[in-house]
């Protein structure tokens, strides 16, 4: 996959994509990341890309001319790619969205700055994405999050594909509790089911605990989960959720 990022401060990405799993994926050719400075499309001798908002107000806005020119130039320079504007007004990033984005041959990410985008820039985006209900100084860190989340969905990026499928939110539920050695630490012991070597029982226990944890910690996600009859049975024997709204009680009930 080719990922291209438009930013006013390309230096902030230095070394971020060269370490750990992403670095290995780059070196193996699974992902190719290029950072472009859209100030190259700025206006006049000073390469201006921003100006004060009409009607007054604090801060500066990104001008439509330079940024849209940069976007159009990138669109025309390679295979068809969705152009993604990174803004708090965008749709929330989810695991399913990361899976969908990973299916594209190429992505273009546009990082905002200052007080945001002139409204006339927005039609140049195919989608606007937010990584959360908070405001950053710019879209660069959001771009890093999206690159990381999407890259994990590309086969071969993570050495063990099964570990990706067990990640939180991969199938809508949170991840199940996990333990490693020692089996007992500070009077706290690993659940015996994980030590017995009975693979089917371990799978069932993990599924039940994942569902119960989702109900307790993220009831908003739990409400959207399609539960099988087996799932409802597992929930009866798993940890009892603390956030038991009537709706969740009805869904768990066998």
pLDDT of residue 244: 47
pLDDT in tens, 10-52: 999 989 999 999 999 999 999 999 999 999 999 999 999 999 9
- Residue 128 and residue 9 share a domain: yes
The residue among 147, 137, 135 whose CA lies nearest residue 88 is 135
Question: Can you name the residues that pair with 188 across neighbouring β-strands?
Answer: 185
pLDDT in tens, 244-253: 445 556 666 6
Question: Can you name the residues that pair with 4 across neighbouring β-strands?
Answer: 34, 108
Per residue, what are the HEC states of 187-198?
CEECCHHHCCCC
- Looking at residue 46, which CATH number applies to its domain? 3.40.1280.10
Average of per-residue pLDDT across 210-233 = 89
Q: In 75-147, where do the E strands start and end?
A: 83-92, 106-111, 127-130
- Looking at residue 190, which CATH number applies to its domain? 1.10.1270.20
pLDDT of residue 168: 47
Average of per-residue pLDDT across 100-112 = 97
Determine which one of 148, 166, 167, 175 is catalytic: 167
Average of per-residue pLDDT across 90-104 = 95
Specify whether 92 is catalytic. no
Question: Could you tell me which residues come within 8 angstroms of residue 104 by beta carbon, excluding any fewer than 6 positions away?
Answer: 1, 81, 82
**Contact predicate 195/143, CB 8 Å:** no
Distance CA 176, CA 6 (A): 37
Determine which one of 152, 206, 207, 213 is catalytic: 152
Return the sign of the alpha-carbon dihedral for residues 236, 241, 242, 248: negative
> Greater confidence, 140 or 173?
140
Distance CA 151, CA 19 (A): 13
Distance CA 233, CA 41 (A): 60
Reading the block at residue 116, the tokens are 């945001």
pLDDT of residue 158: 74
Binned at pLDDT 50, 70 and 90, residue 178 comes out as confident
Residue 243 CB neighbours (<10 A): 11
Specify whether 167 is catalytic. yes
Tell me, yes or no, whether 172 lies in a domain: no
> Is residue 125 predicted with pLDDT exceeding 60?
yes
Instruction: Quote the pTM value.
Output: 0.81
Average of per-residue pLDDT across 113-135 = 95
Give residue 246's domain range.
184-252
Determine which one of 115, 148, 171, 175 is catalytic: 115
Ramachandran angles phi, psi of 191, nearest 5°: -55, 135
Last residue of a domain, one of 128, 151, 174: 151
Determine which one of 53, 64, 88, 177 is catalytic: 88
Number of domains comprising the chain:
2
First to last CA, the chain: 45
Reading the block at residue 216, the tokens are 């307790």
What mean pLDDT is reported for the chain? 88
pLDDT of residue 171: 67
Specify whether 118 is catalytic. no
Q: What angle do CA 9, 13, 14 make, to 5 degrees?
A: 110
Reading the block at residue 197, the tokens are 């070597």
pLDDT in tens, 192-201: 999 999 999 9
pLDDT in tens, 59-71: 999 999 999 999 9
Last residue of a domain, one of 151, 173, 200: 151
pLDDT of residue 148: 95
Specify whether 115 is catalytic. yes
Last residue of a domain, one of 151, 172, 194: 151
């Amino acid at each position: 996959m080719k990922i291209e990022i438009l930013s006013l401060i390309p230096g902030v990405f230095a070394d971020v994509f060269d370490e750990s799993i992403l670095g290995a994926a780059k070196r193996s050719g699974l992902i190719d990341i290029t950072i472009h400075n859209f100030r190259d499309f700025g206006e006049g001798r000073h390469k201006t890309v921003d100006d004060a908002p009409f009607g007054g107000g604090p801060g500066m806005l990104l001008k439509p001319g330079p940024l849209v020119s940069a976007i159009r130039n990138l669109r025309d320079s390679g295979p068809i790619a969705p152009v993604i504007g990174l803004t708090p007004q965008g749709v929330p990033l989810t695991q399913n969205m990361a899976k969908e984005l990973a299916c594209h041959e190429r992505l273009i990410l546009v990082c905002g700055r200052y007080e945001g985008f002139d409204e006339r820039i927005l039609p140049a985006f195919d989608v606007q994405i937010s990584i959360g209900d908070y405001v950053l100084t710019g879209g660069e860190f959001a771009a890093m999050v999206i690159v990381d989340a999407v890259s994990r969905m590309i086969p071969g990026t993570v050495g063990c594909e099964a570990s990706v499928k067990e990640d939180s939110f991969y199938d809508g539920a949170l991840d199940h509790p996990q333990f490693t050695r020692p089996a007992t630490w500070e009077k706290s012991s690993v659940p015996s089911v994980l030590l017995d070597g009975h693979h089917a029982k371990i799978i069932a226990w993990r599924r039940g605990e994942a569902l119960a944890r989702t109900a307790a910690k993220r009831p908003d996600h739990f409400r959207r989960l399609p539960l099988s009859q087996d799932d409802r049975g597992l929930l009866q024997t798993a940890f009892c959720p603390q956030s038991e709204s009537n709706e969740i009680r009805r869904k768990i009930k066998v």
